[in-house]
Amino acid sequence: MAELDLKQLREDRRALESEANFLRVGNYLAEVDVAFIYNDHEWSPYLSIEDVRKLEDVQRALKRGDLVAAGRRARVYQLTPVTVDSVYRS
């Protein structure tokens, strides 16, 4: 397997595709915007180190219950369980 050369990866970025990545922690869901990098490297597609850190920051914030910090880098939603019987009655 080829050795990872970060300088070469930065130079070889061919296409960026923005996409939302979702993290679930407890009753919260965070929607984090990241850019997948597509090129000819064997690890393609991959995330930039900045986007990986953003995902980790949001996950840590949600784990400690800091919704304000998570909300700075993501859209945060509270999940509510739904009982199907009470919603859909014949």
64 part of a folded domain: yes
Query: Is residue 30 domain-resident?
Result: yes
Share of residues in the chain with pLDDT > 70 (%): 77
Q: Tell whether 2 is covered by a domain.
A: no
Q: Token pair 């930065």 is at which residue? A: 10
Average pLDDT over residues 69-87: 89
- The reply to whether the predicted model has a pTM over 0.75 is no
Q: Highest mean pLDDT range out of 3-7, 42-46, 68-72?
A: 68-72
**Contact indicator for 33, 47 with CB cutoff of 8 Å:** no
- Asked if the structure places residue 78 within a domain, the reply is yes
Task: Round to whole Å and give the CA distance between 35 and 45.
Answer: 10
How many domains in the chain? 1
